[in-house]
Structure 1
Amino acid sequence: MTAPSAPGAFCAIDFGTSNSAIAVPAAGGAMRLVAVEDGQPTMPTAVFYQVEGRAAHEAPLRLYGRAALAAYIEGHEGRLMRSMKSVLGSPLADQRTEVGAGHAVPYLDVVGGYLQHLKELAEREAGAPLTRAVLGRPVYFVDDDPARDAQAQAALEAAARAVGFAEVSFQYEPIAAALDYESRLDTEQLVLVADIGGGTSDFSLVRVGPRRRVHLDRRDDILANHGVHVAGTDFDRQVELATILPTCGYRGLGPPRPDGPPREVPSRVYFDLATWHLVNTVYSVPRVLELRRMRSFYGDPRQHARLMKVVEQHLGHALLGQAEDAKIAVAEGGTTEIDLRRLEAGLAARLDEAGAVHALDPELDRIVAAARETLRAAGVAADEVDVLYLTGGSTGFAPLVRRIADAVPRATPIAGDRHASVAQGLGVHAQRLHARARG
């Protein structure tokens, strides 16, 4: 990494798929997390473009975080954007998207606007302009495609520079989590950091300890890192496909045919409805007209009627939110009922831990395989790992944690702050980086 040279205060930003946070210097040289919304140190990575109440010539009002989600749930007219990080490295990054009332914005402006909001909140608390930023990044923005992965980081850096950061550097998110854990240690340990967030599952095998944390360059202590683009938003997708969308025809059958068994109804619309950053593509006029014409494809007309209610009333994000809530409700082994009265009076779906594990099994296997690949790349046996350090919102799903723990049977599982460990660790790195530059 390049040594910082630009004047001005610095910060550390965890721009997450599901939640984000920002840290600024505190008295005494430490770092502190900014209370970004409702006194909380983290904020949902969500933007709502509200067109309701705006004149035709006025740009939409932008709301962020919990306020964005509340405006959407309350039914205000506009466009909700979530999982913006997933757009980086994809073809959508270079495109514009409709946000309502004839307004369109580039996807990267959505990312930049959110970063600008975080920056302004932090500057208000720091009392000074912030011109230098350390940003977290997953091990891989894009699996098995180094060119697109580099494009994703470059796009995020460009968005950060566009909102006023003259100097931008990056640190891997699981390494940041290791730095957060290390700051409390008084012994040397070999730690497998599992950072399972909303968009990616990242692993790093790191040597940590009091003698090592004095060094800014920790490359020799990072034995291996690996990751897959599978995590919480993929869990939401699979839960919705398994529980909610079958009521709207997913994997449903068409009418009887004289020349063979009924055909399964086309599935593309369901995969788009179950993917946070693709939901709005289903609401375009040509797509809605196409779906209306497909009524004869459905053997059960009620399924088609529910699907049309979803797309015509723009309920896609709300249903995905219910899938996310159901996933969280069963994370520790519970059972939940998903109320689908918005689709039809008395309609509901049920999810328990066994059903969630069945729906998520391929994703869980890929995540555990990434953990094993990290050990293999480091040339370290599973029983040599001292600690399994867990961070990221998806580590709240107990069956996943058990599977990862089974891969390192002698390691002690330690749960970090699921939502703030990475931000705190990025703050540690930023403080050391810029203190070194001043020295």
Structure 2
Amino acid sequence: MAACGLDFGTSNTTLGRAGADGPRLVPLEERHVTIPSAIFFEPGREPVIGRAATEAYVEGTPGRMMRSLKSVLGSGLIEETTPVGRERVRFRDVIGRYLAAVKARAEDAAGESFDAVVHGRPVHFVDGDAEGDRRAENTLREIAHGIGFRHVAFQYEPIAAALDHERSVRREEIALIADIGGGTSDFSIVRLSPERHARADRAGDILANDGVRIGGTDFDRVLSLGTVMPLLGLGSPMRREGLTVPNAYFHDLATWSSINRLYNPRTRREIAEIVRDGARPDLIARLSTVVELERGHSLALAVEGAKIAASDDGAGTVDLEWVESGLAAAIDRATLVAHTGRLAARIAERVGRCLAQAGLRADAIDALFLTGGSTRLPHVREGLTACLPGARVVEGDTFGSVGIGLTIEAARQAA
């Protein structure tokens, strides 16, 4: 039985296998071991995934782009359908097609078939809804069976990251694992040591698990609503006194998983009526352009890029020249913090909840292990380290630690 560890993330996906040289991530897109969780449907052709999906969309190839697929798990969207060419496809089937393509690529690269998988999962798919969590995991299990995995197990993503970190631990320690990804922020407090690493049963070493459904795509959404959507008419008045333009269009356009909802004749007609009846038709005309051209994902990609630039370099720009000559939104680090500071604070609050669950004080934590792309945001990082001022900060592989840990777990279960 060939087993693998599969980290299907909101933004990126990895798949790993364990061999004689230890756990390794398998190349999924040319030399890359990480592949964006994106799929593009071009009429009359097989869908493409990853970077190729984004490139096809950006180059203007006719078709349908979908990204952040994982975010629909646990929501009502999972059973809904979306138009793909002349057919309507369930979102669960879109996820199945994406993961089937990932599995096929991994098997081709590894030269073997995988019939067992340890899937990563957030601590909570849905905040405060145990039944929603159960449904989300069951959906992912059904999808995994549907694409050819006979044996399917799950591991919390922060626990998987802890297994990766433990490979470098030289003496016993208590670590708080923070996995801040594209869709969720997950935390575990785990007792680690070289001796414990060899044990099959680690349940007693897991002192706390907690998480919140906030991740990088939420930062993108809030930043877009605060800086870009007002340029397209968000908050602008209608001619009729006391009314403003409906917010729903802008919220859908700012949310990765909802963008495709706008691409239908009814929505286009509604926006045309708002152009006619709005007090600022010049702004709503910009919204109309984005929807008519079906460029919502281009907008979301630009906001994400500006967020990263503001985080890494201090400033970024959302270039909207394709909407209107000279149009752009400038985002610097202060703007980023002003719009998303509350999200960062809500993530940091989970550290205290984890400590309380474990019955520990902050000074009992020896190491703070950081993984996930959103740990690169300075105010997120600062909020986490401020909660544990005495802990040693350990940098994990931003996009690979969870996948490696899942692969370690898969090898244990297959042994």
TM-score, structure 1 as length reference: 0.92
Distance 1:20 1:276 in 2: 16
Equivalent residue for 1:5? none
Higher alpha-carbon deviation: 40-49 or 211-220: 211-220
Residue among 7, 13, 32 paired with 1:20 = 13
The one-letter code matched in structure 1 to 2:392 is T
Contact 1:44–1:66 (8 Å) recurs in 2: yes
- Check if 1:165 corresponds to 2:165: no
Identity, in percent, stands at 43
Could you list the per-position Cα deviations for residues 330-379 of structure 1 after superposition, in whole angstroms to 9, with x for gaps in the alignment?
Answer: 11351112211011001111001110011102211210111211111111
Deviations 1:7-32 (A, max 9, x none): x211110000000000113235x221
**2-structure distance, mates of 1:358, 1:67:** 34
Q: CA deviation at 1:297?
A: 4.4
- CA drift at 1:96: 1.8
CA distance in 1, matches of 2:198, 2:291: 55
- The correspondence of residues 141-152 of structure 1 with structure 2, limited to 5 A, is 141-152=125-136
**Structure-to-structure mapping, 1:18-417, within 5 angstroms:** 18-28=11-21, 30-51=22-43, 54=44, 60-100=45-85, 102-255=86-239, 257=241, 262-332=242-312, 334-417=314-397
Please tell me whether the aligned partners of residues 265 and 297 of structure 1 are also in contact (alpha carbons under 8 angstroms).
no
In the alignment, the residues of structure 2 paired with residue 95 and residue 340 of structure 1 have an alpha-carbon distance, to the nearest angstrom, of 31
Looking at structure 2, the residues matched to 395 and 170 of structure 1 have their Cα atoms a distance apart, in angstroms, of 24
Contact persistence 1:188–1:209 (CA under 8 A): yes
Q: CA deviation at 1:255?
A: 3.8
SS of equivalent to 2:370: strand
Please tell me whether the aligned partners of residues 333 and 398 of structure 1 are also in contact (alpha carbons under 8 angstroms): no
Task: Tell me the CA shift for residue 252 of structure 1.
Answer: 2.1
- For residues 66-125 of structure 1, give each alpha carbon's deviation from its aligned partner in whole angstroms, at most 9, with x where no partner exists: 00000000011111111111111111111221112x122121111111111111112112
Query: Given residue 121 of structure 1, which amino acid in structure 2 is its aligned partner?
Result: R
More divergent stretch after superposition (219-228 vs 332-341): 332-341
Q: Is the 8 A contact 2:14 2:26 kept in 1?
A: yes
Contact 1:201–1:227 (8 Å) recurs in 2: yes
SS in 2 for 1:254: coil
SS of the residue corresponding to residue 197 of structure 2 reads coil
Structure 2 letter corresponding to 1:48: F
Q: State how far apart, in whole Å, the 1-side matches of 2:253 and 2:107 are.
A: 37
Q: Distance in 2 between matches of 1:10 and 1:426?
A: 10
Contact 2:274 2:281 in 1 (8 A): no
Structure 2: gaps (5+ residues)? none
CA contact (8 A) 1:247 1:303 kept: yes
CA distance in 2, matches of 1:282, 1:96: 14
- Secondary structure of the 1:331 match is helix
Q: Are the equivalent residues in 2 in contact too, given 1:19–1:42 (CA < 8 A)?
A: yes
Tell me the distance in 1 between the aligned counterparts of 2:128 and 2:148.
32
Asked if structure 1 preserves the Cα contact closer than 8 Å seen for 2:317 and 2:329, the reply is yes
Q: What is the alpha-carbon root mean square deviation over aligned residues?
A: 1.3
* Equivalences, count: 415
Question: Does structure 2 retain, via aligned residues, the 8 Å contact 1:171–1:426?
Answer: yes
Q: Please, which runs of 5 or more residues in structure 1 have no aligned partner?
A: 1-7, 55-59
Deviation of 1:265 after TM superposition, in Å, equals 2.0
Is this contact kept in 1: 2:18–2:408, CA < 8 A? no
Return 264-273 or 417-426, whichever deviates more.
264-273
CA contact (8 A) 1:46 1:65 kept: yes
Query: Which letter does structure 2 place at the counterpart of 1:245?
Result: M
Q: Secondary structure at the match of 1:12?
A: strand
Cα 1:337–1:128 change in 2 (3 A) is closer
Does the 8 Å contact 2:96/2:146 carry over to 1? Answer: yes
